[in-house]
A = this chain, B = another copy of it.
Amino acid sequence: MVVDLRKVAAASGVSLSTASRALSGSGRVSAATRERVRQVAEDLGYRPNALARGLRTNHSRLIGLVITNLVNASLHVIAEVVHDRLKASGYHLVLCITGDDAGEERAYVETLRDHNVDGVLVVGSDDEAVQSLRETDIPAIHLARRPRRPAGDCVLGADIEGAREATRYLLGLSHQRIAVVAGPPAVTSGYERLAGHRLALDEAGVPYRDDLVFQGPLEPAWGAEAAARMLALPEGRRPTAVLVTNHEAAFGLLPALRERGVRIPGELSVLCYEDADMLRWWDPGITVMDNNAARMGDLAVSLLLDRIVANPGSTGQTPTEYRVGAQLVIRQSCVIAES
């Protein structure tokens, strides 16, 4: 037995419209009736129908989160932070996992539109998908990845600066031959982290060597492969340190190194971009450049909510780009190179 506004109105001896005004708080109602209606509504356990309200007002208090997956450590942190922040503002989260499939991403964005979501957060890269958002004036924020043609502000990691600082740290420990396990150049964060690394090398006047850069898909398997390859280098050209540009690759690299009996940090210093539970608990604890995923999620929600409440017609402006700084967390996996 579901009680609607009409019943509340009837029970408080008032018209439908006054009942609505009394509860919504907007519009002119006498204090007395307002209180009475409120009381009746509570007694009857009235709950406004979100669909009807959404249909009328054109906003659903739902926010779509389009995300590639949930298993990746940074991503479920982001999902949880986003959820919590939205909840605090009275919004709810519709979760859309795309598996990095552009088709899925597009389909999801359409469905979210169908459901009249008030805004969308996108962790993904497909360009076409977000295009339809621009058209409909649904505010969108890009998170962690930047499409070539964004539909809204982008919240990204300060990847260049972070990788630069990471490499500086290793250089400061007298490492000269630093390997890099890097992502494919297509993904901006992968490209930028490598660029930052190179920048630091250039500053220090240390030569950039192609044979120390292992560029491939950032998955455990590739991390393991990279480990094998760098150990196969001849004695004098083998790296004394390695910068792994994401934690998935590290998940493969570290066990591979251990299997081969490589001592960390004695024989090889390891620094990983992005933190993860496993890196903290590894033996030895892995020094990381934390990309602050939680802060990125937080900022993205703030921007989205601003856009929603503030100016509905604000799309079309060139979106601004925010960079959340990374942070070096020193553990035990990096040590001064033996000269």
Chain A residues at the B interface, C-beta cutoff of 8 Å: 1-2, 47-52, 54-55, 60, 62, 65, 69-71, 76-77, 79-80, 83-84, 87, 92-97, 110-111, 113-116, 135-136, 251, 254-255, 258, 277-278, 281, 283
Cα A269 to Cα B92 in complex, Å, equals: 45
Chain B's closest residue to A277 (CB) is B278
Cα A210 to Cα B62 in complex, Å, equals: 51
Can you sample 11 A-B contacts with CB below 8 Å?
A47-B110, A47-B113, A48-B114, A51-B55, A51-B115, A70-B80, A70-B83, A79-B95, A93-B96, A251-B277, A278-B278
* 14 new A-B contacts at CB < 8 Å, known A47-B110, A50-B111: A47-B113, A49-B114, A70-B76, A70-B83, A80-B97, A83-B96, A83-B97, A92-B111, A95-B95, A251-B277, A255-B281, A277-B278, A278-B278, A283-B283
Indicate which residue in B1, B49, B135 contacts A116 across the interface (CB closer than 8 Å).
B49
Indicate which residue in B60, B80, B251, B258 contacts A283 across the interface (CB closer than 8 Å).
B258
How far does the Cβ of A46 sit from chain B's closest Cβ, in whole Å? 11
Cα A69 to Cα B52 in complex, Å, equals: 30
Cα A96 to Cα B62 in complex, Å, equals: 12
How far does the Cβ of A286 sit from chain B's closest Cβ, in whole Å? 12
For A277, what are the chain B residues with a Cβ–Cβ distance below 8 Å? 251, 278
Cα A116 to Cα B52 in complex, Å, equals: 10
Indicate which residue in B71, B135, B136 contacts A80 across the interface (CB closer than 8 Å).
B71
How far does the Cβ of A316 sit from chain B's closest Cβ, in whole Å? 15
For A51, what are the chain B residues with a Cβ–Cβ distance below 8 Å? 51, 54-55, 60, 115-116
How far does the Cβ of A219 sit from chain B's closest Cβ, in whole Å? 13
For A110, what are the chain B residues with a Cβ–Cβ distance below 8 Å? 47
What 8 pairs across the A-B complex have the smallest Cβ distances? A50-B114, A95-B95, A51-B55, A50-B115, A51-B54, A70-B80, A278-B278, A70-B76
Q: How many copies does the complex hold?
A: 2
Indicate which residue in B65, B79, B92 contacts A96 across the interface (CB closer than 8 Å).
B92
For A55, what are the chain B residues with a Cβ–Cβ distance below 8 Å? 49, 51-52, 55
For A111, what are the chain B residues with a Cβ–Cβ distance below 8 Å? 50, 92
A69→B60 contact, CB < 8 A = no
For A54, what are the chain B residues with a Cβ–Cβ distance below 8 Å? 51
Cα A2 to Cα B133 in complex, Å, equals: 12
B97→A84 contact, CB < 8 A = yes
How far does the Cβ of A234 sit from chain B's closest Cβ, in whole Å? 28
For A94, what are the chain B residues with a Cβ–Cβ distance below 8 Å? 62, 92-95
How far does the Cβ of A151 sit from chain B's closest Cβ, in whole Å? 17
Chain B's closest residue to A69 (CB) is B80
How far does the Cβ of A260 sit from chain B's closest Cβ, in whole Å? 13
For A283, what are the chain B residues with a Cβ–Cβ distance below 8 Å? 255, 258, 283
For A76, what are the chain B residues with a Cβ–Cβ distance below 8 Å? 70-71, 76
Output the residue of A47, A49, A54, A92 with the most chain B CB within 10 A.
A92
